[in-house]
Structure 1
Amino acid sequence: MAYLSPLMANTTFPSPDWESNLATPDAAINKLLEYSFPNPRAPDRKGVRSDGLVIIRGGKVVLEQYQAPYDAQKPHLTWSVSKSFINALYGVAEHRGLLKRSDSVSDYYPLFKQEGYDEIRIEHLLHWTSGLDWAETYEASPLTSSVVAMLYTLGRDDMAAWTARHPIKTRPGQWHNYSSGDTNLLSATLRGVVGESDYPDFPWQALFEPLGMSNVTWEQDASGTYVGSSYLYATPRDMARLGYLFLRKGNWNGEQLLSEDWVQFSSTLAPAYGNEPVMAEDDSHPGAHWWVNSGVESQGQPLAWPDAPADTYTAWGHWGQYIFVIPSLDLVIARTGDDRDGSFNRNLFLSLIVAAFGDREARQ
């Protein structure tokens, strides 16, 4: 299989819309579409239930399909894919010299100006290693779920402040513990980074407008903080723009919006992951508000998705929302869905992507 060097990749950018170079349907593409869009669609929210799929290669749309009522213009709730947008905003802010990822959160967020909490750095929040006592559970245990309480009950008026009142359980940076609370702390901290007056427009000024994201909504809590953990709505085409920014190492049409080092930092396995035993079958390997393919070699943990290139990484949201970036294949895949029963298999999906688009030269 001929993998494409990122240095040789086409540098086409969408302006204002994506150009199309649709692949000719063949057995591999049909197999990918049959898996992604079963016909008939299973009732009662069972099985694989894709709502949208957009694949970008060489800066152009090579495959696109939707399930009604979604189409290319209808935004989809991205759930935790929004966490990777928070990452990008911090990447822009660091590139502009507004902060360093090693800064203490307390430099920008007053509620952390207290003993212990002032040791939490921005990079700890990005790696989900704040050390705060947090339970990221959902429907299975709603009564003990920190995230359910934050989004819908006790914390909904000021999600970051409610999270900040959680006790410190472990030393910051020591253990990985996935936390939507950490993300909403980042979102609130961004107000101190860019200034109160600039904060409402910052996602648009720093990211959405430069990338040409014309159909995006981001909800705020009652305090005016963007719900960075969960509530960004976007079309797959606009989701793909974020992936393409990272595929192009932070450059957008000649302008460096975030540094190449930031992209590397984001797509590298979090240092604290593996400080405790990991499960070989676990495919949620954290980067910095992205998820990566590499595993913990010292513990014999394989790639998260063994049938995908090792450099694959993804933004990942509840019920099947994804932005996959595969630099070695010059691919970005944006997928939205409504997978409620865990049927969607990430490794199988990626293997079908590789089978359909891995041999780039043969499909030009």
Structure 2
Amino acid sequence: MKRAGGAIRRPFSFVRPRLGSCHMKNAILAAAAALALTSPSHAQTAQHQLDERYNRALAAGYKALFLCSAIANAEANGTTRTPESVHEWELTGIQAPLNRIVRDLPYEIIRRPTGQIAHVQVRWDEDMPDRLAVFDGKDAGCSVPPVGAPPGLSNPTAPKPWEREEREDARIPLGLPPGPPPSLPSLDAAFSDKYGNGRTTAVVVRVFENGRVKANYARSAPGFSRYTPQRTWSVAKSIAATLVGAAVHRDEIDVNDSAGLGVDESDPRRAITIDHALRMASGRYSDTPGNRTDPLYWGGTSVEERAQDWPLIYTPGSVYRYANNDTLAAIKAIEDTFANHPPADFFAEIGMTRTVAERDWRGDYVLSSQVWSTAWDLAAIGQLYLNDGMLWNGTRILPEGWVEYVSSPSGPQPEGRPFGYGAGWWLMNSSEGVPSDTFAAFGNRGQYVVVVPSRDVVIVRRGEDMVGTRFDIAAFTRDVLAALE
């Protein structure tokens, strides 16, 4: 006998059966039934059952994380969100197949004696532990442990609420004109169906002059205020590029440095640079268009195990393919700089004091998507780019020429799309009625930060658009700029 695949394989022998016709018929039926168990239809059924179970686990992680992040980060900002509000906005109209599962999963919000959220748990299976999202503190937000993790397992590097030094909440003076913000008809139109059938939650338009705010326009949907954070989704990629720029300015890295992918110097992936990663041109394979990273975002895997090891299929720098993994690789390449320059300190320095970059459960930043910020804070990062990387007081924190670098289409470009791509920022240089120097951060569900250097204008639109809907950011930008003339 030989062992194959963990089973004992017995030598095959043919023995003619000595059975009557009835017994023979039963034997044939039994053999047919056994064959059916290995047929494609049975395999598809087994795979379907497996996928359904996996989707429930992902949906539970999705729900736990959004309840945790939306509520805990809002409370850290001095405001509130309710579970009902999160169900109405963040948990409605999400991607398939999670959309049909997520809302009905039972959940529980566990708080510490101080009233602060400890974790959120969501029931998804009777035989498995609840899925968890753990609040790791004001500067860390929430993280998702692996499927099957018990309560108490959390990000090992996150500052716990009782360990964190209180940060002074001093916003950078913006020189805002006194009195209530003036009216701008285009802002009201953003909450109608003029620009599509999206669901707008907040709009901020800032006009600058000599580095100071000349006019400020803002409006929020009911239940949202200037202190209400939302997930940025892929706007985080532009924030990631900004953190890379800060490290370049401090002479800690160069964008032409290797991103450190691959096992050693003999690995061809070592040729992928930080610039390649920022420009979505690493040449690596990714399994879905847009590179959905559900196992990392909702499944509790880590950046290290999910994003770093994909194989190379094109020469680095030759092909554009939008991939979360590339931004994650760029941030992983500069992670050593975060010990002395954590993102929270950078956010505070530029006035984004109500923004938090969340991490995976092992402590790596998920800066492809998992940042929670307010519309007002995102306007501050737009202001930084209008000021060519300098703070309001003249202190430079991004390199000279960084604005030109991120807004330059020097790498391979997306095909069949109305927008080009720079280094972590989208380009609106082909949008009708929009100045050719306009660049923007785009995020899922309608998150936009539009920077128009020639007009000294920043436009922020936040939304919770449902799958299959859209918001025409180019038309909105055009109309806002026309209204400001």
Q: If the TM-score is normalised by the length of the shorter chain, which range does it land in?
A: 0.7 to 0.9
Match of 2:207 among 57, 65, 79: 57
Q: CA deviation at 1:230?
A: 0.6
1:233 matched residue in structure 2? 372
- The reply on whether 1:256 has 2:386 as its aligned counterpart is no
2:224 matched residue in structure 1? 70
1:8 matched residue in structure 2? none
Query: Which one scores higher on RCO, CA 8 angstroms, separation ≥ 6?
Result: 1
- The reply on whether 1:132 has 2:284 as its aligned counterpart is yes
2:328 matched residue in structure 1? 184
Deviation string 1:257-289 (CA, Å, 9 cap, x unpaired) is 011311110011142227xxx32xx22311100
C-alpha distance in 2 between matches for 1:322 and 1:160: 28
Query: Residue 135 of structure 1 contacts residue 147 of structure 1 at CA under 8 Å; is this kept in 2?
Result: no
Amino acid at match of 2:460: A
2:457 matched residue in structure 1? 331
CA gap 1:245/1:77 in 2 versus in 1, 3 angstroms: same
Q: CA deviation at 1:17?
A: 5.4
Q: Stretches of 4+ moved more than 6 A in 1?
A: none
2:11 matched residue in structure 1? none
2:424 matched residue in structure 1? 289
2:434 matched residue in structure 1? 308
Amino acid at match of 1:161: E
2:119 matched residue in structure 1? none
2:176 matched residue in structure 1? 19
Q: Structure 1 residues 161-170 or 92-101, which shifts more?
A: 161-170
Amino acid at match of 1:332: V
Unaligned runs of 5+ in 2: 1-170
Q: CA deviation at 1:147?
A: 2.2
Query: Residue 344 of structure 2 contacts residue 357 of structure 2 at CA under 8 Å; is this kept in 1?
Result: no
1:344 matched residue in structure 2? 471
Deviation string 1:11-30 (CA, Å, 9 cap, x unpaired) is xxx734561366754xxx32
Q: CA deviation at 1:136?
A: 4.8
Q: Structure 1 residues 243-252 or 209-218, which shifts more?
A: 209-218
C-alpha distance in 1 between matches for 2:361 and 2:332: 12
Within a 5 Å distance, the mapping from 1:58-207 to structure 2 comes to 58=208, 59-60=212-213, 61-106=215-260, 111=263, 113-137=265-289, 146-153=292-299, 156-192=300-336, 194=337, 197-198=339-340, 202-205=342-345, 207=346
SS of aligned partner of 2:307: helix
Query: Residue 131 of structure 1 contacts residue 174 of structure 1 at CA under 8 Å; is this kept in 2?
Result: yes
Q: CA deviation at 1:93?
A: 0.6
CA gap 1:53/1:20 in 2 versus in 1, 3 angstroms: farther
Q: CA deviation at 1:48?
A: 2.4
Q: CA deviation at 1:317?
A: 0.5
C-alpha distance in 1 between matches for 2:422 and 2:175: 28
Amino acid at match of 1:65: R
**How many residues were matched structurally?**
307
Q: CA RMSD in A?
A: 2.3
Q: Which has the larger Rg?
A: 2
CA gap 1:160/1:177 in 2 versus in 1, 3 angstroms: farther
C-alpha distance in 2 between matches for 1:72 and 1:166: 40
C-alpha distance in 1 between matches for 2:254 and 2:421: 20
CA gap 1:254/1:122 in 2 versus in 1, 3 angstroms: same
C-alpha distance in 1 between matches for 2:356 and 2:177: 25
Q: CA deviation at 1:350?
A: 1.3
Amino acid at match of 2:201: D
Q: CA deviation at 1:332?
A: 0.6
SS of aligned partner of 1:19: coil
2:35 matched residue in structure 1? none
Query: Residue 216 of structure 1 contacts residue 233 of structure 1 at CA under 8 Å; is this kept in 2?
Result: yes
- The reply on whether 1:244 has 2:413 as its aligned counterpart is no
Q: CA deviation at 1:204?
A: 2.3
C-alpha distance in 2 between matches for 1:159 and 1:96: 25
Percent identity, aligned pairs only? 26
C-alpha distance in 2 between matches for 1:146 and 1:211: 31
C-alpha distance in 2 between matches for 1:344 and 1:55: 16
SS of aligned partner of 2:379: helix
Deviation string 1:335-364 (CA, Å, 9 cap, x unpaired) is 11012233311221112112111x2xxxxx
Query: Residue 160 of structure 1 contacts residue 184 of structure 1 at CA under 8 Å; is this kept in 2?
Result: no
1:298 matched residue in structure 2? none
- The reply on whether 1:273 has 2:413 as its aligned counterpart is yes
C-alpha distance in 2 between matches for 1:170 and 1:137: 16
- The reply on whether 1:216 has 2:360 as its aligned counterpart is no
Give the TM-score taking structure 1 as reference length.
0.78
CA gap 1:211/1:185 in 2 versus in 1, 3 angstroms: same
Query: Residue 52 of structure 1 contacts residue 67 of structure 1 at CA under 8 Å; is this kept in 2?
Result: yes
